A and B are shown apart, each in its own frame.
Chain A
Amino acid sequence: MTAPEDVVMAAPVDVPWHRLDRRMLFIRPVLDLVKSLPVLFGALILGHGDSWQWIGVAVTALTVLAGISHVLTSRYRITAEQVEWHTGLLLRKDRAIPRDRIRTVDVTSEPKHRLFKLAAVRIGTGRHSHGKGPGGDELLLDAVSLDEAQRLRTTLLHRKAVVTADEPAVESSEKLVAAIDKRWLRYAPFTLSGLAVIGAMIATVYHFAHELHFDPVEYGPLRSLVARSAEAPTWLVVVLAAVALLVAVSLLSVGGYVLSFWNFRLTRESEGTLHVRRGLITTRSVSIEEDRLRGVEVKQPLPLRAVGGARCTAIAGGLWEGKSADKGGGLLLPPAPLARVHEVVDVVLGEDYDPLTVPLTRHPRRALNRRLSRAVGGVALLAVALFLLSWIDFLPDWPWQVALVLLPVAAVVGWDRYRNLGHTMTGRYLVTSYGSLDRTTVALRREGITGIVLERSFFQRRAGLITLVAPIAAGKGSYNVLDLGESDGLALADQAVPGLLTPFLTRVHPQLVDESL
């Protein structure tokens, strides 16, 4: 008798099933145990009475057993049409992903994996699951051996090559597009990535100190430091603190840069895939099918822009931004000189020019008023609120005074935002540029845009401006062209998705323009 699943998944040729690497049995239980330590401790220490302690132990045991059963019972195979996956002992789960829907293969080796030369393989499809539960269209194999990961990557993504030539002896050629340059480290401090680390550290220390009723300022070196700074003039304390913070942020940022981007290599394989490898301790390897590339995004946060740096991300189906595990999946180049970014974009997009260097059309001056009023208005409102709070003696005076000082800064930011607004349609690319503190330039391939959304707020309506939203099944999901003149915006939308708007467009004389868009 055949097992039920064999009847359902009757493949023309019997493809053998593969299992997760057994060496995960050494890693997974230990990690699960560590993860459930808080529960265990909570139950053993705080839970008075036997029953609570047993519940804690039982929960921990279940967690560990579930982990072990996941490693033991998960199996997968790649048939001619799809990738099939089964898991579970009591609660069985089956999943099958058609091979032609696979867009990306992400191979990540965390320290736990590197212990045994293993890697977690994430197989992504281009779909955003619409409420079908998390990861409904994604497969995570945690973990397989590095060789197996490599095999999966090549079989799943190089299917065109597999169809034509079956012998594995044919070596795929790989062309280097970009590799890490030690000199790029000078951009690391300007990414300010260390700021987040310091913030998290302070929050953790504060949280624990608060929980344990322990005030760090009362003890040890901090106490003497606080005592001494009370005697020194305020400006000196502020300057010293700022310098110390700057040094710490710089060091941490450089450390973060090395950890994430060491051994960075971007290559292009003859089968039409881009391959990114990077990481010092956690290594990551992401493959992107060039057919699925929908565009590129270049980001220049203000400090990085000041020193002529930028970073570059691919907008591709199967790579969604924002989800924790996928974060940074589309990275094409770590913070590097702008000129280098443009060279890479040039190669990656495979055009004979870089659409991001094409001069952009500026937006009407009415857009400047809007940027200014939004930037300055926000800070002004804050200042008024802070003033009212100090007026009722809830806050001291200095917060609203600081907010007042920030007003001109906000005005400059607003002006810079307007200066950075731009758009153009060049060849098959819609290019849009916006932002000041985090200046972004995006080039989208026209064929990836899945529709058109036009938006007009009350204030935009009065200023005769509209925002064009280009929905796309990749990256952030949609990209905006802010504050276009109405007629220009419609013309741009008509070019971006040819024919979609045309039947609904009318031409009128400027004298006859009424309220409708």
Chain B
Amino acid sequence: MNEETSATTVLRLRPPKHQVSRKAMGYWAVWAAVFWLIVLTVQTVIVTTSDDAPTWITVTLVISCVLTPLHLLVMPRWRYRIHRWEVTGEAVYTQSGWIKQQWRLAPISRIQTVDIERDPVEQLFGLAKLTITTASAAGPLRIAGLDRAQALALADELTSATQAIRGDAT
């Protein structure tokens, strides 16, 4: 029966259920603003201080001025839409990526470490980043922009679930 249905239907992977905290948009915007502030400052200093600034430097400054608000407006919303996660009793599932999309799944039984990280800006927004590693070198699963309390609860849940299963089956 299964084969019959597979002939007429196609498989699709549904996105993970949860979105990250809405505060993450502010967090991403702050980092982007810091980046653009540095770029714009450097460009402005060059244009204003040099006696005979080449035209192309002025042109790049104008381009930066146009790009900055666009990036600050579009990027956080877009990221917020893309970054999703889900944890079930069996697995951790994340979705990320803008131009190159990526879906990562890891069975709970294979989890080796669960880390929580917070940089200063994340602390300001009450956010945390969760990093979940398995024994493979293919890279960990990362959930960035989680609400701090939620991240702590999730880390606790994952750690106890991992400890309940002996060994990481490597």
- Could you tell me which A residues sit within 8 Å of B by CB distance? 126-128, 130, 317, 320, 447, 450-458, 461, 469, 471-473, 476-478, 486-487, 490-491, 494, 497, 499-501, 503-510, 513, 516-517
Contacts and interface: CB of A to CB of B under 8 A. Distances in A.
B105 to A, nearest CB: 5
20 contacts: A126-B135, A128-B136, A451-B110, A451-B141, A453-B102, A457-B100, A458-B99, A471-B138, A478-B136, A487-B10, A490-B13, A500-B90, A501-B105, A503-B90, A503-B91, A507-B5, A507-B11, A508-B12, A513-B12, A517-B12
Nearest to A489: B11
B135 A473 contact: yes
Interface residues of B, number: 38
Given A130-B133, A486-B10, 19 more contacts: A126-B170, A317-B170, A450-B138, A452-B103, A455-B97, A455-B103, A469-B138, A473-B134, A473-B137, A477-B137, A478-B136, A486-B11, A487-B11, A503-B88, A507-B5, A508-B10, A516-B13, A516-B15, A517-B103
Given A507-B9, A510-B10, A456 B101 contact: yes
A507 B12 contact: yes
A450 B135 contact: yes
A508 B15 CA distance: 14
Contacts of B105: 451-453, 497, 500-501, 504
B32 to A, nearest CB: 21
B8 A472 contact: no
List the 3 closest A-B pairs by CB distance, nearest first. A477-B137, A471-B138, A471-B136
Q: Which of A450, A469, A506 has the most CB of B within 10 A?
A: A450
Contact of B169 (A447, A453, A487): A447
Contacts, number: 140
Nearest to A509: B9
Contacts of B100: 455-458
Contacts of A126: 135, 170
Nearest to A317: B170
B27 interface: no
Nearest to B99: A458
Contact of A504 (B10, B14, B99, B138): B14
Contact of B90 (A450, A454, A499): A499
A510 B135 CA distance: 37
A228 to B, nearest CB: 51
Interface in B49-88: 86, 88
A420 to B, nearest CB: 22
A62 to B, nearest CB: 36
Contacts of A453: 102-105, 138-139
A82 to B, nearest CB: 16
A509 B12 contact: no
B163 interface: no
B113 interface: yes
Contacts of B102: 453-456
A506 B170 CA distance: 31
